[in-house]
Amino acid sequence: MSNGANHNQSTNPFAASTGKQASPPSVEVKRFAARRRKEDRIAEERFERLNGQLMDMIEMGKQALGSTVEIVEDEDGPGPGMW
């Protein structure tokens, strides 16, 4: 059977390893956690935007591979400085 102290440890995220119940997080800890969540959200938004750009570039590459390019040269070949 489990006693009350062990039960509190497993269900209460603030329970200390000594079996005593710890105080809730401080204001500073809450601010840090909120700042971290905001930074994570911003990073996720940047990642999604970059992923969208990458998907667009892949689509453009696929379209380019499906097209043909015709190169027409003059009688004299490329102009000075071209090659």
The pLDDT value given to residue 58: 95
Return the C-alpha torsion angle 11, 17, 21, 23, nearest 10: -110
Residue 50 lies in a domain: yes
Residue 78 lies in a domain: no
Residue 10 lies in a domain: no
Low-confidence ranges of the chain (pLDDT < 50): 7-9
Contacting residues for 15 by C-beta, under 8 A, at least 6 apart: 8, 9, 21, 22
The pLDDT value given to residue 8: 47
The pLDDT value given to residue 22: 79
The pLDDT value given to residue 80: 64
Residue 39 lies in a domain: yes
Residue with tokens 């892949």: 58
- The 10s digit of each residue's pLDDT in 21-41 is 778 889 999 999 999 999 999
3-state secondary structure of 67: coil
Residue 37 lies in a domain: yes
Task: Determine the structural domain holding residue 58 and report its residue range.
Answer: 33-62
Residue 70 lies in a domain: no
Residue 8 lies in a domain: no
Do 22 and 31 form a contact (C-beta atoms < 8 A)? no
How many domains are contained in the chain?
Answer: 1
The pLDDT value given to residue 83: 59
